[in-house]
A and B are shown apart, each in its own frame.
Chain A
Amino acid sequence: MRLLGFAVDRVSAIDQADNMFPETTSSGSKALSIFIAVLVLLLVVGGISWFYFNSQLKNPESVASTPTSDQSTPDLATATEPTLTTAPADLATAISQLDNELSIISQDEQSDDDTIDL
């Protein structure tokens, strides 16, 4: 909106300038040319970006893969080669997964879905 206000002010200013000096080419016209060039450049950049990002969005490799399981953490069995450095991380992941599973098991146990009032 600020840009639009600025543009309108510029138009009014140039309009007044044109009326004051109808037959002359002032320095304002040079500024106008630069301004037009910048805007055209912006238009071109916008267009190129539009096509570029759209093609990126359509590219299946850039889209997040659909999760095939409800486990959030990576499968340790298929992770990288186990080393002493990865062992604490493996254990931390397993403990975190176990916490999550225990929490869901408790929720399921307390579910009222197997209760019916006939």
Chain B
Amino acid sequence: MTQLIFRLVVVCGLISSLSLTTVLAEEGSSNTPTTKTSEKTATSVRESIKAEKDARKTALEAFKTAEKDQNAARKLTAAQNLATKLIAERQRALAHAKTKSAEVKCVAAKTDIGLAIDTVNLNLTNQKADVAAAATVEAVKIIIKDGIIGKNHVFVALLPAVRGMCAADSIKTLIDGRLTAVVAKLKDSGLDTATIEKYLGEAKKDAQAAYDAYKAVANSPGSTTYKTGLESAKTKLKAAKASLSQAKVEAEKLRDQNASSSVTPTPKTAD
């Protein structure tokens, strides 16, 4: 009897220890998303439309198989299906980009971004109707190459341009807001702010130039010069970054200067 009780208690003890260990492990694993959230880095919109991308790849394979077929109707259906998937993939990406631009801090760029996205979205909707009305496989192929892909360049032109607009806009917002407030405080303290103001001014000017260049691409992603436009915009954005880095060094200098000047000698107490 003693043995039975003893064995029962041992088993219960082990179970409770195991359950405690399991619960603590669950607690630990439930904390992991917090860490991952904080470490989560920005990602491309392209990565969030995997299902649509897979559907487009499957439709392309089906179209290539159907092309070997002698049945013209089946070929046309496969081509139309591929075009539809290409449009769906792009419209999904645009919807995602629009939502993201509304969520992140590119406040001023939101309207411009929305307009550029809506224009391309309208193109795609019209192209969907063209695909449905197409009578031959060749006609569908032309719509795909020159219209759905060529006129919109959603992935290689519009999305990078929209992203660049947002990045440039956030620099301007930072400079005009928080950093201008800091400079005003520095001036009030009697510190020389000429250098930091110069760097911030350059950063803002370059950010504005980058914004304009990205906006031009976003408004005309089908242009033959979109690559040059993106390259020039990126150069300006990098220049803005360089000026921000110099402004940071200057801000650190001023902070240290301010800290040392604000240290006052301790007054001697009277005996």
Contacts and interface: CB of A to CB of B under 8 A. Distances in A.
Contacts, number: 223
A95 B252 CA distance: 15
Nearest to B177: A77
Query: A-side binding surface: helix, strand, loop or mixed?
Result: helix
Interface in B156-188: 156-157, 159-160, 163-164, 166-167, 170-171, 173-174, 177-179, 181-182, 185-186
Interface string A28-54: 010010011011101111110110011
Query: B-side binding surface: helix, strand, loop or mixed?
Result: helix
B167 A97 contact: yes
Interface string A73-102: 001111100111111101110110111111
Contact size class for B?
Answer: 35 or more
Contacts of A29: 2
Contacts of A36: 5-6, 9
Given A72-B38, A91-B247, A111-B156, A39 B234 contact: no
B37 interface: yes
Contacts of B24: 49, 53
Contacts of B166: 101
B156 A50 contact: no
A102 B238 contact: yes
Interface of A: 3-4, 7, 10-11, 14-15, 18, 29, 32, 35-36, 38-40, 42-47, 49-50, 53-54, 56-57, 63-65, 67-72, 75-79, 82-88, 90-92, 94-95, 97-102, 104-111, 113-116, 118
Given A70-B43, A105-B230, 12 more contacts: A32-B6, A39-B9, A39-B13, A50-B23, A57-B30, A76-B105, A76-B174, A83-B185, A84-B186, A91-B179, A94-B244, A111-B156
